[in-house]
Amino acid sequence: MQYLVVIALIAVVYFFFIKKKPITYKENKNKESKPQSGDMVECPTCGVYTEIDDAILSNGKYYCSQECLEK
């Protein structure tokens, strides 16, 4: 009987204090709409992934190089 009380107490502490809330769709959507420094983006021309800091932004799209932007 004492073991069940201890296990129940540990479960309550875990669920209320340790377990993190799952990420909801709304939180994911907000993250995607605001790219952070260091995020990787795909070039629409060649498909190469590059860091957003190194990419060229034109018409709402990120390009890996000036050549891909001109194509």
Give the whole-angstrom CA distance, residue 29 versus residue 35: 11
Query: Strand, helix or coil at 58?
Result: strand
The whole model's pTM is what? 0.49
Residue among 66, 68, 61 at smallest CA distance from 46: 68
User: What is the residue extent of each domain of the chain?
Assistant: 2-70
2-57 pLDDT, tens digit per residue, is: 889 999 999 888 887 776 666 665 545 555 566 677 788 888 888 888 888 888 88
